[in-house]
Chains A and B, each alone.
Chain A
């Protein structure tokens, strides 16, 4: 059966393209991007096939490397959650890489062969983290993806290396905390396999080591997910990185970390065990709430579009973690739907910023005027749709994740979280409508601007089409979310 090999095939595809990408494009750098797109395309195709066959068969695929059974060997586990996440990240990576050609040429022309290989390694790490059924193996993939992302972020403007270095320091501490937590768990359970651990942990819940391990893992992965107050590295990293790097890492990097939190909290530990512990779920919910408000408020204060989007990411990751902390099906489905929505919205917005950098030459919010919309109508259309979805207006996708999160909080009678979700939408409206006002009205037009003389100066097809696909995707997700959420309800553990 070919399906059983697909989870491995996805990871292997990226490895393959990382190697052949550099080799082939070493002389002619123009080959680098198409090859990376092909790699991500093949991986997306594999994800789609694997997902469809999972939907049909409904069986969890466990792949034992070298046919060594756990706990001795390492296994990949393809279940609903990992399948869903891998589909999302591979598709978005495919779109972003497809779009990246022009920006890459403009921003780091001579380094493209290395760049795209590293990008493939990044995706390899992400997919490995999602697929693996082994906590230590997850650490290995985490480090692969982290190293790749340090490199990708360092390629950017003159502040980028510093931002990357800062991320490296903080990220390494995070990774180490995670490893320490896994070590603690190993000492009390004697296994690193997630499924084995899932069976053993309920008996060990009064053991303080299990609690300490959870706190360490949450802290470590919290850094990667940019969970408030561990988000400090993110805004600078996203802002200073090249357009393509931020578009690639922002929509999916933090999501994969959030996935690890879901996996550890809801699967390895299990929702029930939290009742017998200190209220860790409530604490992460509170942190997420603070992050939601903090991120939105900071986003309002930014003058640079990319930095605004970065702070908005801090806020949006809060939605996802808050959904997790609710530990009910609505919160779970809302959070995972938001993983998908936010991946689309943020990718779309960062691609828009890439398009603006390319044609307009800057992304300073306060220098926008209505000539922007005239020059780049398609790009700004994509921006508008994604912005409205971020604010959470129906029938776009963003509304529905908000809706499920809202009913999740009501079910737990958690009024504080409900208020946070709603207030944050308003704050989103402030910083997005501010831009819409600038580019679609004459409000801030300089006196010497002759709008009639402004010619359309839009990016090419490969710049427009990905933005449009993501924008239309937001409408499609919004209208078909019932099916997606139905699926997510089904895979809610317990």
Chain B
């Protein structure tokens, strides 16, 4: 097969499934088969790109022009392949899990749900494979729009309030991104993603550079959950849990941090940012976010909201790693994209299984549930350990590199933040585990068993993956080597 077309096909697979999903409205089993087929095909297509990415190759395809001189550029570079592998791989598990969840919870409008989900995945892979900022904006806004029906899905007053908040934040962000892109285009003449950036030869006043950078940050920071523009994320927990799991722990929010990497490494370039000292803004913001979000997680009794604040904090781990502007920090940040994805999706899956099975949403109700849902809670424990940075789960490894990155960049405060945040993670996760295992449950648990296999199997798989990638980080996909080589290209001053 012609490799050039693969990224495009990977984007289109799930989009092509949408009409089939809509047409199978009345036949749920057929409808869900389309989702599964699309997910598997998409993942396989992305997999074929990994060998090339490991060699540092980029597959580029220029389609028609979006605007004169600005093509719709599909470019599968190593970073894009890395992100696409995670998103499309986890979509498979989420699809199985979704089937168990929406049927178990008796959700309405399931066709709309699965169709929107498929469009979201197309957009996410589109974001991963965008070759320039304009292409990126197209997919980024598509993702905003496709997520909207999922956030509003339950149509309760709470869900509607959440969806409004979500739109306000993300649409505003999109506009800031357009402004920043327009400025980049006029001042540099190029908005293509190139390792090392496009600002190299441009002499701009520090103020103007700072304005452009902050506009970009506003544009991508919303989805990346950087404080103080994070608050849509806890609100968006009104969505069904699989949505929270894949979109609000992996696809949407990781698109945000992915975009931070693109902006830092491929639009501005690490050298330029360091020269203007702009990364300091990012270090301060990310550092504050990590600590404040962890503290706020304590205050949440709703399990999903606690996970959401934890997500906000962990997203900023990645941002912090990038902002250090050191190869090891960048590598740690990139590794944490995958690590946080497998761990947090596990936790959300667990939260959803508990909700569907026991109708419990709050942490204070979780006493003794490990007895009835042993597998789920085992997975929950693994995810929690990982997020606290305890080996052998993969969260430890990325955190290790983040720590080394902060030493390499001589930013001691970052190291302190990481350590403190690890403790805070222990602080807000372990009480949940303690309740589940060591407290006595109420009588209402008596006639319940484990959740449906559609849900438990994905939970076990993602939890196992977290451990496996913690011990063998290069297994299957070469995530470790990929992260390392991507980080290298961003600091040797160029690449291809």
Contact = CB atoms under 8 A, between A and B. Distances in A.
Interface of A: 388, 391, 393-395, 399-400, 402-404, 406-407, 409-411, 418, 422-423, 425-426, 429, 433, 437, 440-443, 479-483, 485-486, 489
B141 A479 contact: no
A406 B68 contact: no
Interface string B441-483: 0000000000000000000000000000000000000000000
A418 B142 contact: no
Interface stretch (B47-55, B59-67, B264-272): B59-67
Nearest to B171: A429
A403 B178 contact: yes
B155 A393 contact: no
B67 A422 contact: no
A388 B183 CA distance: 24
A145 B435 CA distance: 78
Contact of A403 (B67, B157, B183): B67
Contact of B142 (A394, A409, A422, A425): A394
Contacts of B382: none
Interface string B62-81: 00111110100000000000
Interface string B138-170: 100110110001001001010010011001100
Contact of A406 (B66, B152, B160, B178): B178
Contacts of A479: 64
14 contacts: A391-B171, A395-B66, A395-B142, A399-B141, A410-B183, A410-B185, A422-B179, A423-B175, A429-B171, A433-B167, A440-B149, A441-B155, A443-B160, A479-B64
A206 to B, nearest CB: 33
A407 B152 contact: no
A220 B164 CA distance: 42
Nearest to A411: B186
Contacts of B164: 433
Contact of B179 (A400, A418, A482, A489): A418
B178 A441 contact: no
B137 A394 contact: yes
A395 B68 contact: no
Given A388-B145, A481-B67, A426 B175 contact: yes
A10 B437 CA distance: 82
A441 B179 contact: no
Given A402-B178, A410-B186, A411-B186, A394 B138 contact: yes
Interface residues of B, number: 33
Interface string B108-150: 0000000000000000000000000010011001101100010
A400 B67 contact: yes
Given A425-B175, A426-B172, A437-B152, 17 more contacts: A391-B171, A393-B174, A394-B138, A394-B141, A394-B142, A399-B138, A407-B185, A410-B179, A411-B186, A426-B175, A433-B167, A437-B160, A440-B149, A442-B155, A482-B64, A482-B65, A486-B68
B192 to A, nearest CB: 16
Contacts of B67: 400, 403-404, 481-482, 485
B124 to A, nearest CB: 16
A432 B210 CA distance: 34
B183 A482 contact: no
A483 B70 CA distance: 12
A11 B173 CA distance: 47
Contacts, number: 80
Contacts of A485: 67-68
A399 B182 CA distance: 13
Contacts of B137: 394
Contacts of A410: 179, 182-183, 185-186
Closest 7 CB pairs of A and B: A482-B65, A422-B175, A394-B138, A406-B182, A441-B155, A407-B182, A410-B186
Contacts of B68: 482, 485-486, 489
A418 B182 contact: yes
A429 B178 contact: no
A404 B179 CA distance: 11
Nearest to B138: A394
Nearest to A437: B160
Main secondary structure of the interface of A (DSSP, over half): helix
A441 B152 contact: yes
A260 B285 CA distance: 51
Nearest to A488: B68
Contacts of A404: 67
A381 B164 CA distance: 21
Which has the most chain B C-beta neighbours within 10 Å: A403, A418, A440, A485?
Answer: A403
Contacts of B142: 393-395
A408 B226 CA distance: 30
Interface string B181-221: 01101100000000000000000000000000000000000
A411 B183 CA distance: 8
A426 B171 contact: yes
Contacts of A442: 155
Contacts of A433: 164, 167
Contacts of A426: 168, 171-172, 175
B223 to A, nearest CB: 15
A407 B155 CA distance: 38
A143 B149 CA distance: 48
A468 to B, nearest CB: 16
Contacts of A486: 68
Nearest to B185: A407
Which has the most chain B C-beta neighbours within 10 Å: A394, A403, A404, A489?
Answer: A394
Contacts of B138: 394-395, 399
Nearest to B211: A415
A486 B183 CA distance: 21
Contacts of A395: 66, 138, 142
Contacts of A391: 171
Contacts of B168: 426
A482 to B, nearest CB: 4
A346 B155 CA distance: 29
Contacts of A483: 65
A443 B182 contact: no
Nearest to A413: B186
Contacts of B64: 479-480, 482
A480 B65 CA distance: 8
Contacts of B70: 482
A378 B168 CA distance: 27
Nearest to A424: B175
